[in-house]
């Protein structure tokens, strides 16, 4: 008797939970990457790929490109001065090669996730430059031929267009940027080289400064192939017009474009099941707009769209405990309206 009461309570509470979450599973899995003529990427959690079957199935059936979310960042892969941890990336490179999945490298130089030895090892300007170049050279050389493109530099500009005063800027000066790209090019002349940042999805001082700086470096002979727009955005910001304008500016400047870390946060009150459904519909429309816009870019400038996580249970945004449901699959790995819309042949243009 006690047992059946307990089971009934459990059933009721799970029903209540799904009512609050909103019933979001509305279509079957359809292999998202087959719907688009450019690569569709996933920010990959390599641990989940290894240990969670549902994650494995979706990652392999829906995506044609992977960006490791953690394992190429300096603190992870280069924890001591004379030690690179190549085991995991080696395994992943093999895995992707066998399955013809493209691998994108993220990221060589960033102001975060720097190993402590790099902070401690302060030498002369030329020694510091050598330290930075060695990091790039060894990592890129090791992966040469297996990683299609690299985010050579991540988040190096401030909102007002000035350069962020990160470790390498302070030690080497503004030239660290061109030196980083040159080092990557020397290590693998066939990998595509990207600058990656947030806030470039709207026109303004940051985008202008990035374009001006990268263009002038190109004129000096530095190879920079493309720009990654992270696109951690919300269901109502930025406007489609702003995004179109930003993409036009980048495309006219002659860079490839990667929508590199896409997630679209649901903002607003999820007060009722109906409201929750409406918000997820709005999110679906935003994803569709983004994909349509990308499709309209010149083909030779399309590198692909990468989604920053698989399901709403995996998103990095959960780290600050706000439930923003920014991805294509819900917390139980069921397709959300956004996924359904992106794979709906009747509404696609
Ligand atoms: C994030 C990862 O998703 C998190 O899991 C990690 O804790 C911190 O880094 N911009 C970037 C990414 O370029 O590397 C960040 O990834 C998200 C913001």
> In the annotation, is 81 catalytic?
no
**How far is the centre of ligand 1, averaged over its atoms, from the C-alpha of 67 (Å)?**
11
The whole-angstrom separation of Cα 71 and Cα 106 is 9
Which amino acid residue places its CA nearest to atom 16 of ligand 1? 69
Over residues 94-122, the mean pLDDT reads: 98
The mean predicted confidence, pLDDT, of the chain is: 93
State the catalytic residue, choosing from 62, 179, 201, 261: 261
Residue 153 β-bridge partners: 109, 195
The whole-angstrom separation of Cα 4 and Cα 284 is 40
pLDDT of the residue at 73: 98
Is 278 a residue whose pLDDT tops 50?
A: yes
Over residues 197-202, the mean pLDDT reads: 98
Tens digits of residue pLDDT in 280-302: 999 999 999 999 999 999 999 99
**How far is the centre of ligand 1, averaged over its atoms, from the C-alpha of 135 (Å)?**
20
Is 347 a residue whose pLDDT tops 80?
A: no
Using a 6 Å cutoff on CB, does residue 230 contact ligand 1?
yes
CA Rg, the chain, in Å? 21
State the catalytic residue, choosing from 62, 155, 179, 201: 155
Tens digits of residue pLDDT in 39-70: 999 999 999 999 999 999 999 999 999 999 99
pLDDT of the residue at 24: 54
Residue 239 in tokens: 């406007």
Q: What percent of the chain has pLDDT over 90?
A: 87
Using a 6 Å cutoff on CB, does residue 316 contact ligand 1?
yes
Could you tell me which of 334, 338, 235 has the C-alpha nearest to residue 291? 338
Yes or no: say if 225 and 255 are a contact pair by the CB < 8 Å rule.
yes
Is 15 a residue whose pLDDT tops 50?
A: no
> In the annotation, is 113 catalytic?
no
Using a 6 Å cutoff on CB, does residue 69 contact ligand 1?
yes
pLDDT of the residue at 19: 42
Which amino acid residue places its CA nearest to atom 12 of ligand 1? 69
Tens digits of residue pLDDT in 134-193: 999 999 999 999 999 999 999 999 999 999 999 999 999 999 999 999 999 999 999 999
The whole-angstrom separation of Cα 324 and Cα 322 is 6
**How far is the centre of ligand 1, averaged over its atoms, from the C-alpha of 154 (Å)?**
11
Task: Count Cβ neighbours within 10 Å for each residue of 286-314 and write b for 16 or more, e otherwise.
Answer: bbbebbeebeebeeebbbbbbbbbbbbeb
Residue 228 β-bridge partners: 196, 258
Is 266 a residue whose pLDDT tops 60?
A: yes
Yes or no: say if 326 and 266 are a contact pair by the CB < 8 Å rule.
yes
Residue 154 β-bridge partners: 196
Residue 53 in tokens: 């079957």
Is 348 a residue whose pLDDT tops 80?
A: no
| Residue to mutate, 69, 107, 262, ligand 1, most ligand atoms under 8 Å from C-beta | 69
| Residue to mutate, 70, 164, 265, ligand 1, most ligand atoms under 8 Å from C-beta | 70
Ordered alpha helix ranges (H), the chain = 2-21, 46-51, 53-62, 74-77, 87-99, 116-120, 125-143, 167-172, 176-187, 205-219, 240-252, 273-295, 337-342
| Residue to mutate, 261, 262, 315, ligand 1, most ligand atoms under 8 Å from C-beta | 261
Tens digits of residue pLDDT in 314-338: 999 998 877 899 999 999 999 999 9
Using a 6 Å cutoff on CB, does residue 154 contact ligand 1?
yes
DSSP-derived secondary structure for 158-220: -TTSPBP--HHHHHH-TTHHHHHHHHHHHH-TTSEEEEEESSTTS-SHHHHHHHHHHHHHHHT
Place of tokens 């924890």: 79
Is 198 a residue whose pLDDT tops 50?
A: yes
């Amino acid at each position: 008797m006690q047992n059946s009461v307990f089971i009934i309570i459990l059933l009721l509470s799970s029903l209540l939970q799904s009512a609050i979450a909103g019933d979001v599973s509305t279509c079957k899995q359809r292999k998202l990457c087959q719907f688009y003529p450019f690569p569709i990427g996933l920010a990959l959690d390599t641990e989940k790929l290894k240990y969670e079957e549902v994650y494995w199935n979706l990652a392999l059936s829906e995506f044609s490109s992977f960006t490791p979310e953690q394992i190429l960042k300096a603190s992870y892969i280069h924890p001591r001065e004379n030690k690179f941890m190549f085991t995991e990336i080696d395994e992943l490179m093999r895995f992707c090669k066998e399955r013809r999945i493209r691998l994108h490298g993220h990221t060589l130089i960033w102001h975060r996730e720097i190993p402590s030895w790099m902070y401690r090892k302060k030498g002369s300007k030329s020694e510091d430059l050598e330290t930075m170049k060695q990091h790039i050279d060894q990592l890129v050389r090791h992966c040469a031929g297996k990683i299609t493109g690299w985010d050579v530099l991540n988040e190096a500009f401030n909102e007002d267009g000035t350069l962020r005063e990160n470790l390498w800027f302070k030690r080497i000066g503004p030239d660290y940027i061109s030196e980083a790209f040159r080092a990557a090019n020397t290590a693998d002349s066939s990998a595509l080289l990207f600058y990656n940042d947030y806030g470039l999805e709207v026109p303004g001082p940051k985008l202008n400064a990035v374009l001006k700086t990268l263009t002038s470096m190109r004129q000096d002979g530095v190879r920079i192939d493309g720009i990654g727009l992270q696109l951690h955005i919300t269901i109502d910001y930025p406007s489609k017009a702003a995004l179109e304008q930003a993409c036009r500016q980048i495309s006219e400047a002659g860079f490839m474009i990667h929508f590199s870390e896409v997630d679209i946060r649901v903002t607003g009150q999820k007060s009722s099941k109906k409201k929750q459904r409406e918000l997820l519909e709005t999110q679906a429309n935003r994803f569709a707009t983004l994909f349509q816009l990308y499709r309209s870019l010149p083909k030779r400038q399309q590198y692909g769209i990468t989604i920053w996580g698989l399901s709403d249970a995996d998103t990095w945004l959960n780290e600050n405990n706000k439930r923003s449901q920014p991805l294509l699959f819900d917390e139980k790995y069921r397709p959300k309206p956004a996924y359904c819309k992106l794979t709906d042949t009747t509404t696609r243009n």
